[in-house]
């Protein structure tokens, strides 16, 4: 049997909705004000399911994607980028631990950031670290959008550890948890709710956002 060259698409899940979910993220962010000239951070970008669409839309050098999984990141870098003719867009892709952004030039401040299907697999402590470090690199008025599974009983509910990655299989969190974290970090918080995610599970992923003060 030949090598499966698209193994990485299956690794991140929802293989049959690869293009649909990727395009959805770009459409959503553009509806929220993303412009080609903006700096955009894709947190947990993986093999660039959405990243390829963001890179094509944004001006050269304006996309930054981070992930802690080098294999998935390299699949995006070595397969998706050249295959889709995006090499000249010079996206910045980096494998990082604990959402480290200190390697970026000080002048890079993000107008927008997104974490799709990331908080649905992290512990609360990891989420707070992510919010703190992304929040520090937002431009004044910049907004970080993230999806999560809402808890129906107002409690944190987590599944087992993922067999291949340092994360949880799934999580359900109350909205209030994110609001409290945002307040502690000096970020504005907004519960957006449904945003059109096609995944058919017990609870459709919903959207929240964190905004840096424009002042």
Greater confidence (45 vs 215) lies with 45
- Residues 99 and 152: their CA atoms lie apart, in Å, by 29
Across 91-212, the runs of DSSP E, i.e. the strands, are 92-95, 110-115, 138-148, 157-158, 171-172, 188-193, 206-211
Quickly tell me which residue has 């080098």 as its tokens: 70
Task: Kindly report, residue by residue over 20-67, the tens digit of the pLDDT.
Answer: 788 999 999 999 999 999 999 999 999 999 999 999 999 999 999 999
Q: How far apart are CA 150 and CA 144, in angstroms?
A: 18
pLDDT at 1 over 50: no
The first and second tokens of residue 133, run together, are 């470090």
- Global pTM? 0.90
List the domain range (segments joined by +) for residue 52.
7-211
Confidence category of residue 164, pLDDT binned at 50, 70, 90: low
Read off the tokens for 6.
């698209």
Tokens of 36: 């080609």
pLDDT-wise least confident of 48-62, 78-92, 162-176: 162-176
CATH number at residue 12: 3.40.50.150
Q: Is 116 part of a structural domain of the chain?
A: yes
Residue 153 pLDDT grade (very low, low, confident, very high; cuts 50, 70, 90): confident
Q: Is residue 2 part of a domain?
A: no
* Within-domain flag for 150: yes
The domain tally of the chain equals 1
Q: Is residue 1 part of a domain?
A: no
Residue 121, helix vs strand vs coil: helix
């Amino acid at each position: 049997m030949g090598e499966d060259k698209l193994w990485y698409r299956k690794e991140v899940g929802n293989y049959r909705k690869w293009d649909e979910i990727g395009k959805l993220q770009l459409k959503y962010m553009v509806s929220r004000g993303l412009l080609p000239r903006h700096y955009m951070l894709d947190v947990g970008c993986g093999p660039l399911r959405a990243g390829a669409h963001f890179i094509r839309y944004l001006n050269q050098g304006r996309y930054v994607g981070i992930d802690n999984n080098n294999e998935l990141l390299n699949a995006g870098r070595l397969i998706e980028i050249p295959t889709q003719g995006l090499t000249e867009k010079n996206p910045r892709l980096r494998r990082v631990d604990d959402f480290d952004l200190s390697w970026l030039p000080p002048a890079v401040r993000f107008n927008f950031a997104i974490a799709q299907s990331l908080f649905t697999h992290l512990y609360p402590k990891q989420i707070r670290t992510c919010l703190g470090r992304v929040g520090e690199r937002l431009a004044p008025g910049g907004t970080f959008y993230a999806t999560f599974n809402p808890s129906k009983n107002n409690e944190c509910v987590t599944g087992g550890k993922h067999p291949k990655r340092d994360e949880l299989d799934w999580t359900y969190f109350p909205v209030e948890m994110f609001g409290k974290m945002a307040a502690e970090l000096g970020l504005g918080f907004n519960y957006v709710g449904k945003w059109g995610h096609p995944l058919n599970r017990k609870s459709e992923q919903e959207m929240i956002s964190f905004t840096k003060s424009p002042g």
